[in-house]
Amino acid sequence: MTQKVWDIIHILKAQYPDALCALHYKKDYELMIAVRLSAQCTDARVNLVTPALFSAFPSLDAMANAPIPVVEEYIHSCGFYRQKAKDIILACQMLRDVYGGKVPATMEELLKLPGVGRKTANLLLGDLYCVPGSVVCDTHCMRICGRLGLSQGREPEKVEQQLRAVLPPQESSDFCHRIVLFGRDICTARSPKCEVCPLAIYCNEVNQVS
């Protein structure tokens, strides 16, 4: 790993000591549901929606047996609610019927769940099982890591592989959570606060302008 990568990691750690997932959950499968709802939706909106959803269907079995139209009503404001409701119920049924009620701990098994792609799988592996090398490649991650010269392109799977090659495996999951916080707080998509950015020295865009 290069010194630049470690410097970036240490700066982000100082800026955001608690590398916590922004989504609220109490049970493992609730995190799976929350991540599915977060697609094309803000984490803040998901956190407003899930308390009522989880209260209405308080167990995995209850969620697996939930009527799709009722779930649609609870998650309507998250967007793409029809597909999300179907995926959530089918995934919960699969957890119950195939995986003994537990969220799987391998990428291969997670990707078999309806609505679960690599981004979701990596987040679940990192947060639930602390699997080293878990890289959650969302829009914040791709934008910021591109600016920092840690990755190239906008294809999530390619950027994920690039980051796996440069990030220390034990740091990768927390790094991705901190990048999300950094992307909301300072390195925003439209109006980045370059004048107060602690990573400006490593940013290709800032240094090109300079």
Which residues carry out catalysis? 119, 138
Quote the CA–CA distance of 103 and 125 in Å, as a whole number: 9
